[in-house]
Structure 1
Amino acid sequence: MDEVIAQRLCHMLANCEEEKRTTALRSIAKLFKQTDGVANELTLLKICKALYYMLWMTDKPLKVRRVAVSIVELQSGFTDRKNKFRFFSCLFKSLSMEWYSLDKNRLDKMLLFVRIVIAAFLELLNAGKWDKEELEEFGNIVLEEQGIFNSRSLGLAFQFLQTFLEEMKGNMEEQKSKNEWSQLDEISSLRLMRPFLHLVIDLENKQLVDTLFLYVLNRVGSIPGVPCKAIAKAVKLLSKTELVKGFKRKLLVKASKEIGIDGPLSPEEENEVHGVISRIETALQPTPKKAPKNPKTQKPKNERMDGETPEMDNGKDKAPKLMDISDEIEDDMDDEFEEYDDDGYLTLRDIIGCRRSSESLIRRLGSIATSATLKKYLIDTGRRDHKIMKRLNSPYYSRQFFLLALYKLKRRKPLNKFRYVGEPDKIMDIGKKAVAPPSKKGSIDIAKALHNIKHAKPGKSIVRKRNRKPTESKHVVFNLKNNQIATIPKKKRGSFTMPVWY
């Protein structure tokens, strides 16, 4: 396949003129017929993306259907069946990559296109008499990471699950009328359902899992001509594995009852069922965690830290153990301002200096935030006398929570917001009398500043909204130059009315 010619045809496929798009589609069909050997996957992906935009540019329902069928029939030009499966894989990938850009005007045509692609895919499997290797390739295409069930294209995943058995049933009736239907056996039907059993464990979206059971696993037993004994046995065995937990186990038990077909299997079919389950377990087995780089310097889990109390060890409710991050907070600041005053003052530039934090610091801050949330929950629920509060009120934890508050202030980057205000690293006492700053230039009382920011009552502003409702929220601005707080009205989006004479 000539890449230069393919690239030119891709530009023609996305052309605004319908005649050029039709000519390019015919040229693509000729190009596929002339392809010998394995087709380049990247070139196929480019062609499939261009075909997607050809369908995008097509209007009117009858034309859309005709173009969609013509796109799917391009795979018949390949002499090698592996290229046909590679073409379907690239089609699903291109659909997944471009699904986010769909609007309501083009959604229907893409949903129709997905139906046509599924029907053609099943027709290809039927033409190969449900070959073992081809069913394996079908499962790999369904489970591809960048394909149908990627998180960016949930609509594609829903459409695939909702229409798969419906298109299979319609395809079966059509092929039987032409005497071209290849009968499925127990092993072939199980291999066809293998990717769906894999998705039961792999999917995390509950709506997708419910759709998978509602439209596929619960209905597969109602399709005539599809043997389901092996599928029912596999569903029952999968519900007993350790990888399935919670609501998924209940759905699997319900699905085995919905299929309702139980009977003896041949030794070959039994081996196939156990083989499918073992393959799913092996593929979804969690990978072992890597060993730490310096195991000698790593702190043992049961070792206590300075300031921790032995209480709560035997209780069920345990506050997470925290680590002292004072040194890392200091290292994260500029070296110029590392020393503090005797009164404990810090410069604002120390706190809000933009520096990238290490992953270990972020991880420890997450642990501190969890404990702070726990403390707030206990206070809000009136459980101040809980035994965990004794530990959370200790000086050690109070210092950790204070460091977390400072880090949150740093992450807000107030220097960027007050860039054009003179001396932005001075926060004074917001009150009637301005208190002189400490001896160090540009230093502040952090505790007092945080208290003022949180509790100071905003004063009236000359630009305030006069008829503001009591329930309407205020928008507060801190003027660090004059040490003032003012309320300003929310800006409304302007509207432009076109003149009548336009």
Structure 2
Amino acid sequence: MASETQNSPFIKSLTSSDKEIRDQALDSLRTYLSSRTEISELDLMKLWKGLFYCLWMQDKPVHQQRLSKDLASLVPTLQPAITIPFLAAFWKTMAREWGQIEALRMDKYLFLIRQYVNASFKFLAQNDWADKARIESYMAVLEETPLSPNDVKIPNGMRYHALDIYVDELEKVGGGDWEKKKETLEILLGPIKKLQKEGRDKTVRKAAQETLDDERLPIWRGEKVQDTEMEEGEGGTDDEWGGIED
């Protein structure tokens, strides 16, 4: 296929400083992506470079968050055949550009990553997480890029952030109803387990272990009963601190 993405007029508009032009470009992009059943990896990488710098140009925090959510909203408009390649290109782009993100711009990219972790889980959760091949395919993407145990080109900062938000976003999408889907849960945790065992960096292995030690996971597996009621009983009004008595 010729490089349609490169030649599409909305690509250059994605980095425009004019909000109206950027919004129109995103609408055009959404229409373009929703109609495609195949896009080359090269074109996806070129596309994501444009999207990366589209967010780069956005300065106001409120607009940054809106744009990140808009970019994540592209995922459910994609044809299934290109969704995982599109997500893979996102992670490769973030890994490639990470070193250029200075402190003042980092927060908006961390927010974008959170939005994309959430969007990817929603994609996997379709039909009650029934498509195991789809889940395993995306786990391979995570093992290759953000949670790669061996690739020294993957920034540890990106690894830490992915680990930090993983269970939070899984909870938002999957809730706590995992007892009947324990096998799926373990597949979803597979890249983290591999990182914990095979990671080259000791601090990364420790961060992976901390994620696996999240107190929600044994509850989801049915290994531990949530003790909220017990905590409420123990911490009733009689135990409240009333200040220093005279």
Structure 1 segment 401-416 matched on structure 2, within 5 A: none
Deviation at 1:9, TM superposition (A): 2.6
Deviation at 1:226, TM superposition (A): 2.6
User: Quick check: 1:165 aligned with 2:167?
Assistant: yes
User: Quick check: 1:65 aligned with 2:65?
Assistant: yes
Q: d(CA) in 1 for partners of 2:34 and 2:104?
A: 34
Kept in 1, the 8 Å contact 2:91–2:146? The answer is yes
Identity of aligned residues (%): 21
Structure 1 segment 145-156 matched on structure 2, within 5 A: 146-149=145-148, 150-152=151-153, 153-156=155-158
Structure 1 segment 303-382 matched on structure 2, within 5 A: none
Q: d(CA) in 1 for partners of 2:78 and 2:55?
A: 21
Match for residue 216 of structure 2 among 210, 218, 222: 222
Q: d(CA) in 2 for partners of 1:186 and 1:100?
A: 37
- Deviations, residues 58-103 of structure 1 (Å, cap 9, x unaligned): 1211111111111111122223x13111111111110000000011
CA RMSD of aligned residues (A): 2.5
User: Could you tell me which residue of structure 1 aligns to residue 115 of structure 2?
Assistant: 116
Deviation at 1:5, TM superposition (A): 5.0
Kept in 2, the 8 Å contact 1:9–1:27? The answer is yes
- Deviations, residues 201-222 of structure 1 (Å, cap 9, x unaligned): 32111111111111x2111x52
SS of the equivalent of 1:226 reads helix
Q: d(CA) in 1 for partners of 2:213 and 2:48?
A: 33
Identify the structure with the greater helix proportion.
2
Q: d(CA) in 1 for partners of 2:25 and 2:88?
A: 21
Q: Which amino acid in structure 2 is aligned with residue 60 of structure 1? A: K
User: Could you tell me which residue of structure 2 aligns to residue 132 of structure 1?
Assistant: 132
User: Could you tell me which residue of structure 2 aligns to residue 206 of structure 1?
Assistant: 202
- Deviations, residues 36-68 of structure 1 (Å, cap 9, x unaligned): x33212111111111111111112111111111
Q: d(CA) in 2 for partners of 1:218 and 1:151?
A: 25
User: Could you tell me which residue of structure 2 aligns to residue 89 of structure 1?
Assistant: 88
User: Could you tell me which residue of structure 1 aligns to residue 230 of structure 2?
Assistant: none
1:6–1:75 CA distance, 2 compared to 1 (3 A): farther
- Deviations, residues 377-399 of structure 1 (Å, cap 9, x unaligned): xxxxxxxxxxxxxxxxxxxxxxx
SS of the equivalent of 2:72 reads helix
User: Could you tell me which residue of structure 2 aligns to residue 451 of structure 1?
Assistant: none
User: Quick check: 1:194 aligned with 2:190?
Assistant: yes
User: Could you tell me which residue of structure 2 aligns to residue 381 of structure 1?
Assistant: none
Q: Which has the higher contact order (CA 8 A, sep 6+)?
A: 2
User: Quick check: 1:51 aligned with 2:46?
Assistant: no
Q: d(CA) in 2 for partners of 1:208 and 1:184?
A: 31
SS of the equivalent of 1:98 reads helix
Deviation at 1:32, TM superposition (A): 0.8
Deviation at 1:104, TM superposition (A): 1.0
- Deviations, residues 473-500 of structure 1 (Å, cap 9, x unaligned): xxxxxxxxxxxxxxxxxxxxxxxxxxxx
1:55–1:30 CA distance, 2 compared to 1 (3 A): same
1:141–1:83 CA distance, 2 compared to 1 (3 A): same
User: Quick check: 1:107 aligned with 2:106?
Assistant: yes
- Deviations, residues 336-356 of structure 1 (Å, cap 9, x unaligned): xxxxxxxxxxxxxxxxxxxxx
Deviation at 1:191, TM superposition (A): 1.3
Structure 2 unaligned blocks of 5 or more:
226-246
Q: d(CA) in 1 for partners of 2:143 and 2:208?
A: 14
- Deviations, residues 247-277 of structure 1 (Å, cap 9, x unaligned): xxxxxxxxxxxx89xxxxxxxxxxxxxxxxx
1:184–1:27 CA distance, 2 compared to 1 (3 A): farther
Kept in 1, the 8 Å contact 2:34–2:78? The answer is yes
1:31–1:225 CA distance, 2 compared to 1 (3 A): farther
Q: d(CA) in 2 for partners of 1:139 and 1:109?
A: 25
Deviation at 1:160, TM superposition (A): 0.1
User: Could you tell me which residue of structure 1 aligns to residue 240 of structure 2?
Assistant: none
Deviation at 1:10, TM superposition (A): 2.2
Structure 1 unaligned blocks of 5 or more:
230-258, 261-502
SS of the equivalent of 1:199 reads helix
Deviation at 1:6, TM superposition (A): 4.1
Kept in 2, the 8 Å contact 1:92–1:148? The answer is no
Q: d(CA) in 2 for partners of 1:128 and 1:28?
A: 27
Q: d(CA) in 2 for partners of 1:167 and 1:119?
A: 5
Give the structure with higher Rg (CA). Answer: 1
1:147–1:158 CA distance, 2 compared to 1 (3 A): closer
